[in-house]
Amino acid sequence: MRHLACIALAACCLGTPAIAQDQPAAGQLPSPQEVFNRDTVTLGIGAGITPDYEGSDDYRFIPAGGARGSIGPVSFATRSSYLYVDFFPHRAEGIDFDLGPIAGLNFNRTTDIHDKFVDKLPERDMAVEIGGFAGISLHDLTNPYDTLSFRLDVKHDVAGAHGSTIISPNIEFGTPLSRTTYVSASTSMDFVAAKYNRYYFGISPADAVASGLPVYDPDGGMNKWRIGALVNQSITGDLTHGFSLFGTVEYSHLTGDAKDSPIVKLRGSSSQWMLAAGAAYTWR
């Protein structure tokens, strides 16, 4: 699961700058739209714990990093090992439309695996997933700086690894608790084709002989659901500039034919955790 090496710092960290509380005197605060219009870049680095492979009950430490920014009308963010670029200008009130491309890498089962049975299965090629996203964002629900987003991601492997399409509906909510503290929560699901599940969770007769695991031929459908949360705390300046610390946790649960795969049911776990923490710096 090294595809989580770029932790979703960008999903929340400075997703909506915190200006709502601990305010200075009236008249000194920028308007929400002024905050959204600022050019900013955030870079973060840290470390995380993630499953050995998708469906594993073994965990490993990995480096974690992410980036987020807004330059003119264009904004960008990394989520896991994927880059999102949004070409629609953001507004600070009402409804925003979100639309743009996605590009990233899927490293699942491309490295050595601790489980001695699963490690005997063939390593998988790195998937290069390209696609796009579309959605809407709602603002000013609990304060002028919060955001509730509904987004649909569609990605397709163009490198010939699993060679299929992943469809993921997402819901994200982020809000400042003060000028220095920001929190967010998210939930999403992945729907995949049979080709995807057979590539990562299937076991051919030859694989069964090599690994000692039973033959398994899965179909597609809902592959997993996940929930996550992030806290971002400024240590210099506020959340619109300077250094900050972040911590994130994600729980995901494999479902359907992925959950019933021998590499999950016999050798791993359908319940997966990811934890990460680190430091970030924001320029404006």
Q: How far is CA 120 from CA 51, 160, 192, 200, in A?
A: 18, 22, 25, 14
Res. 35: pLDDT tops 70: no
Q: Residue 38 — very low, low, confident or very high, per pLDDT cuts 50/70/90?
A: confident
* H or E segment and range at residue 208: helix 205-211
Please indicate, yes or no, if residue 25 is contained in any of the structural domains. Answer: no
Q: The whole model's pTM is what?
A: 0.88
> What spatial distance separates the first Cα and last Cα of the chain, rounded to whole Å?
33
Q: Is the pLDDT assigned to residue 122 strictly greater than 70?
A: yes
In a domain, 77, yes or no: yes
Distances (CA, A) of 154 to 145, 192, 219, 222: 28, 10, 19, 14
89 found inside a domain: yes
DSSP assignment of 224-272 equals: EEEEEEEEEEESSSBTTBEEEEEEEEEEEEE-HHHHTSHHHHTTS-SEE
SS3 of 124, please? Answer: coil
27 in any annotated domain: no
Please tell me the predicted confidence (pLDDT) of residue 39. Answer: 85
Residue 211 domain boundaries: 2-20+32-283
Q: How is residue 30 annotated by DSSP?
A: P
Cα separation, 281 vs 242, whole angstroms: 5
For residue 34, what pLDDT is reported? 66
Q: What is the pLDDT of residues 55-82, one digit of tens each?
A: 999 999 999 889 999 988 899 999 889 9
The Cα–Cα gap between 235 and 232 comes to 10
Q: Quote the CA–CA distance of 144 and 17 in Å, as a whole number.
A: 10
pLDDT per position as a tens digit, 201-221: 999 999 999 999 999 999 999
Mean pLDDT of the chain: 88
How far is it, in rounded angstroms, from Cα 136 to Cα 145?
A: 16
Q: Is the model's pLDDT at 134 over the cut of 80?
A: yes
Domain-located, residue 135: yes
Q: State pLDDT tens for residues 222-270.
A: 999 999 999 999 999 888 889 999 999 999 999 999 999 999 999 999 9
Which two structure tokens, joined as six digits, stand for 165?
Answer: 């399409």
Q: What CATH number should be reported for the domain holding residue 124?
A: 2.40.160.40
Q: Confirm whether 26 is domain-assigned.
A: no
Number of domains in the chain: 1
165 contacts 128 by C-beta, under 8 angstroms: no
* Residues 179, 28: Cα–Cα separation, whole Å: 13
Distance CA 153, CA 193 (A): 15
Q: How many Å apart are CA 64 and CA 81, to the nearest integer?
A: 10
Main-chain dihedrals φ then ψ at residue 92, nearest 5 degrees: -95, 0
The rounded Cα 247 to chain-centroid distance in angstroms is: 14
